Structure 1
């Protein structure tokens, strides 16, 4: 089975956070600009609270069964030591697995995770049933299956569940 690098999958996840700007096209021959370039994108909801992150559930756009099972050999369920981080601009995200500790952690923190706009990465998932159980523990939060080895190496972590923000790494 072909594996996609974690950085690529994570950048796909973060693409949902990017806001595109409408551009104006210029006609090469006439030198005039077209005031209205039709762009296919969803309507903008101006009723959102400012400063609150908006997430798109990417799982609704693609069949994820091709990536399962997901195994992250450098990560396992367990306790972590909280520590400060200095990663300005990083949007909150978390790592979980299909284990009972992760599911309990998700149920307990689901509201907080939604409020801060955290995206979830399921780093240990055996099948679609396990992914469904993980998502059911925090139904209002986007959770995608991703190999977490690259993140574990970069952040020097060995266990999950873990919440990573711009200023801290905590359980």
Structure 2
């Protein structure tokens, strides 16, 4: 009889807990809605164009209109969601000199770079040659430059803020 009661209690416990509400353990407040990242479900989707050798992962010119080369003030701002240091550079002379000067520090930090301004494929190749040993991705930084109030580059962004 005790075994029957024990089996009944053990089988009932998961069902009793299934209806309880979820408990939030930690919420940093740095959340974004997921809706923009989900696919839209409306009618049949058009077929994507066939890939060709002319298609690239980026389109030239690469621009970040809200940012320009210039002096960056050291700013302490905790960015807890940033997993890896990030640096932003362009193809201008200031960015080239900064990348050459900071290269060993960036390699030690295992920083990832965004090339946020480039006009030609030769510009991109020249900057990637300077960034040997680092990951340098051609892409605009417009989506996060405005929220962080970044106006100038080159800049190194880490969990503690940014500096030049």
Interval of TM-score (by shorter of Structure 1 and Structure 2): 0.5 to 0.7
Alignment of 1:72 onto 2:101:
no
Q: Is structure 2 residue 85 aligned with structure 1 residue 85?
A: no
Counterparts of 1:116 and 1:66, CA distance in 2? 26
Deviations 1:4-44 (A, max 9, x none): xxxxxxxxxxxxxxxxxxxxxxxxxxxxxxxxxxxxxxxxx
Which structure 2 residues correspond to residues 68-147 of structure 1 after superposition, within 5 A?
68-90=60-82, 91-147=84-140
Range moving further from structure 2, 151-160 or 65-74:
65-74
Cα RMSD for the two superposed structures: 1.7
Q: CA offset at residue 64 of structure 1?
A: 3.9
Q: Is the 8 A contact 2:62 2:117 kept in 1?
A: yes
The corresponding residue for 1:19 is none
Q: CA deviation at 1:134?
A: 1.0
1:140–1:128: structure 2 CA closer, same or farther, 3 Å change rule? same
Normalising by structure 2, report the TM-score.
0.63
Check the 8 A contact 2:58/2:138 in 1, yes or no: no
Distance 1:162 1:95 in 2: 5
CA contact (8 A) 1:92 1:117 kept: yes
Q: Residue 120 of structure 1 contacts residue 142 of structure 1 at CA under 8 Å; is this kept in 2? A: yes
Report the secondary structure of 1:125's partner residue. coil
Give structure 1 regions of 4+ aligned residues with deviation exceeding 6 angstroms: none
When normalised by structure 1's length, the TM-score is: 0.61
Structure 2, unpaired ranges of 5+ = 1-54
Question: Quick one: distance in 1 between partners of 2:149 and 2:58?
Answer: 28
Larger Rg: 2
Structure 1 residues not aligned, in runs of 5+: 1-62
Does the 8 A contact of 2:70 with 2:154 survive in 1? yes
* 1:55-75 CA distance string (max 9 Å, x none): xxxxxxxx7464221011101
Cα displacement string for residues 120-151 of structure 1 (whole angstroms, at most 9, x for unaligned residues): 00010111100111112221111011111112
* Count of aligned pairs: 110
